[in-house]
Structure 1
Amino acid sequence: MRVMFGGDVMLGRIVKEYILLHGPQYPLGPVAGLMRAADLTIVNLECAITASAHIWPGAPKAFYFGAPPQAIASLADAGVDLVSLANNHVLDYGVAGLHDTLRLLREHGIAQAGAGEQLAQAATPAIVERAGLRFGMAAFCDHQADFAARKDSPGMAYLDMADEAAALAAWADALAALRREQVDWPILSLHWGPNMVWRPSARFRRLAHGAIDMGWKILFGHSAHVFQGIELYRGCPILYAAGDLVDDYYVDPAFSNDHQLLIEIELDRSTVRGIFLHPVFIEDCQVRPASGERLRRIVATMTALCRELGTTVNAAGVLVLSKM
């Protein structure tokens, strides 16, 4: 089985204009074949998909990300099966924008975790079955507390991860729900931490290890807008930050955040067999396979970051994490 992870997918703002001009296949088209070839493809959807023009009525934000309704085809045509909605942009276009997003995902057969009509739904993991294997994903976010789902109101699954005990308790509850459903591969999706940070904090490493110790098998982190090193802890992959997959963000020269990755995990019923990293490059609101100097730069950066976490990277067209 091959499971593909992409980081933040932002289809609003300037990306929206490219979609309206060139069609919904434009943002992910050059890597859509690679994504469709996986048995299961998962991304963090960092925008609402909606026709609504009414932004979140709460405290003003610097950025509001809203994709047009046809952007759902951007995901579907790229083979996206499951998205995380626990992030600080899912309610940028208010409750109506969230409702539209949930409806469009349902209509196109794309599962989601991390948001819902009330807290119980937002905290409920999604379950997807492929070739007899059951995958379950719960999703949480540690910023924008006013987007939090409540007992009787819509929103996303918010967690203050500075309270480590509370975070671990919430993850234990979600894991228990997946165990009742006899899930083979529980995946914990976390939209956490600050932007433009190459390395996870000591607290995040401690929390990640705690999640694996309790029984999560894959940790899928995102939010930093750059990739971080991957750690293999007790045989389980910790993707501290998967970076971005497509966006229109300013490219910071110190971080080169247009240099990114798709992460593919090969596994069987109980064991990770390999992790393959596919370097990509974001240009003109489109993600493309990286080549030449761009590929070499991504390889060198990821090799160094993984080495710090005790993971060896070998380059062979794609990157293979060899420590299993």
Structure 2
Amino acid sequence: MKALISFIFLLYSVTLSSQERITLLFVGDLMQHRAQIDAARTSDGKYDYSPCFSLVKEEISRADIAIGNLEVTLGGKPYQGYPTFSAPDEYLQAIKDAGFDVLLTANNHCLDRGKTGLERTITQIESFSIPYAGTYRNAIERKQLYPLFIRKKGFCIAILNYTYGTNGIKVSAPNIVNCIDKKTILKDIHSAQAVRPDAIIACMHWGEEYQSLPNREQCELADWLLKQGVTHIIGSHPHVIQPMELRTNGNQQHAIVYSLGNFISNMSAANTDGGLIFTLQLEKYPLPKPIRPLQNHS
């Protein structure tokens, strides 16, 4: 009996030492201002954005899951920067080639080209087989695709995405933009929890532009999201970097990034010329495999 007990303990020890890890990478606003569009134009009238990502492509591609906030529409010609963004389709190609795996589409510019722009953006993203969260053609597609679950390396990650607004432009039915509404968010959190993911990550387009500190609404909403079961919170919109927090609750840690700042942009206001690449490594131990009892055939 002693030998059998020792053998079982050894098996459990070997199993538990096999820890699973996954690395998620987040960047801020992927924008396209007029000067960037003009700079990317080639002699044959097409567009080349590969230089924009040349120095960060290796870092982005190294992550298991790389996530970016697509703060432009792909609404087709005429291409335009601020205030109603519509970027060339080649921009999306460069984003894909840089190593991005997931795009967030709920932001205050997602309706810059109205219903046509929202739907064309989704169509282009789908043509590159890039999972996305935030905007939908209709309620049926939202129900099918949201929350967004990313499954990789034995992990299941739920991605939520919401925006504070759409610059006063109303959503045209049956299109849907995920706006910040606690009743809706809570329902989505419950839908995510039903799948029992390893993490629920809320990507929030919130706060005040150009402010280096989160406002009261951001702080209160972050507290509420964690209380409802969100694991980590990643913020965007202010176009400048805001503080990060690491909160501990028992043996759990919760990362809060209030604003990643810009990533690809041509803004000139103070502190808008930089942003964060935020890397989040999640770890877990797999459950030990059951050990079948030895059978004595004597």
Q: TM-score by structure 1 length?
A: 0.72
1:9 Cα deviation from its structure 2 partner:
0.4
2:75 aligned partner: 50
Residue 216 (structure 2) pairs with residue 202 (structure 1): yes
CA distance in 2, matches of 1:35, 1:136: 20
2:186 aligned partner: 172
CA distance in 1, matches of 2:278, 2:151: 20
Say if 1:12 and 1:66, in contact at 8 Å, map to a contact too.
Answer: no
2:55 aligned partner: 30
1:135 Cα deviation from its structure 2 partner:
1.2
2:109 aligned partner: 89
2:200 aligned partner: 186
Change (3 A) 1:148 1:204: same
CA distance in 1, matches of 2:168, 2:160: 20
Backbone CA RMSD of aligned residues: 2.3
Change (3 A) 1:269 1:109: farther
CA distance in 2, matches of 1:148, 1:155: 10
Say if 1:24 and 1:74, in contact at 8 Å, map to a contact too.
Answer: yes
Say if 2:236 and 2:260, in contact at 8 Å, map to a contact too.
Answer: yes
Residue 110 (structure 2) pairs with residue 73 (structure 1): no
CA distance in 2, matches of 1:99, 1:51: 11
Change (3 A) 1:201 1:210: same
Say if 2:211 and 2:240, in contact at 8 Å, map to a contact too.
Answer: yes
Task: List per-residue Cα deviations over 1:55-109 (Å, max 9, x = no partner).
Answer: 9xxxxx9611111011111210111111111111112122222222111211212
Change (3 A) 1:54 1:25: closer
2:229 aligned partner: 215
Partner letter of residue 49 of structure 2?
Answer: P
1:112 aligned partner: 132
Say if 1:42 and 1:81, in contact at 8 Å, map to a contact too.
Answer: yes
CA distance in 2, matches of 1:137, 1:24: 27
Matches within 5 A, 1:1-324: 1-21=22-42, 23-53=48-78, 63-119=83-139, 121=141, 124-144=146-166, 146-147=168-169, 149=171, 152-159=173-180, 167-234=181-248, 235-252=253-270, 256-269=271-284
2:16 aligned partner: none
Deviates more, 1:200-209 or 1:18-27: 18-27
Q: Percent identity?
A: 22
Change (3 A) 1:233 1:170: farther
Task: List per-residue Cα deviations over 1:155-194 (Å, max 9, x = no partner).
Answer: 42123xxxxxxx3332211111112223211111111121
- Paired residues, number: 254
Q: Secondary structure at the match of 1:6?
A: strand
Q: Secondary structure at the match of 2:284?
A: coil
CA distance in 2, matches of 1:175, 1:141: 16
Change (3 A) 1:62 1:37: closer
Partner letter of residue 249 of structure 1?
Answer: M
CA distance in 2, matches of 1:260, 1:146: 26
Partner letter of residue 134 of structure 1?
Answer: C
Q: Secondary structure at the match of 1:8?
A: strand
CA distance in 2, matches of 1:14, 1:181: 44
Larger relative strand fraction: 1
Say if 2:103 and 2:132, in contact at 8 Å, map to a contact too.
Answer: yes
Say if 1:13 and 1:66, in contact at 8 Å, map to a contact too.
Answer: no
Say if 1:147 and 1:155, in contact at 8 Å, map to a contact too.
Answer: no
Q: Secondary structure at the match of 1:199?
A: coil
CA distance in 1, matches of 2:213, 2:139: 31
Partner letter of residue 272 of structure 2?
Answer: N
CA distance in 2, matches of 1:85, 1:218: 19
1:130 Cα deviation from its structure 2 partner:
1.2
Say if 1:230 and 1:240, in contact at 8 Å, map to a contact too.
Answer: yes
Task: List per-residue Cα deviations over 1:234-281 (Å, max 9, x = no partner).
Answer: 3200111111111111232xxx221322111111138xxxxxxxxxxx
CA distance in 2, matches of 1:15, 1:3: 28
1:120 Cα deviation from its structure 2 partner:
6.0
Structure 1 stretches lacking a partner, 5+ long: 56-60, 160-166, 271-324
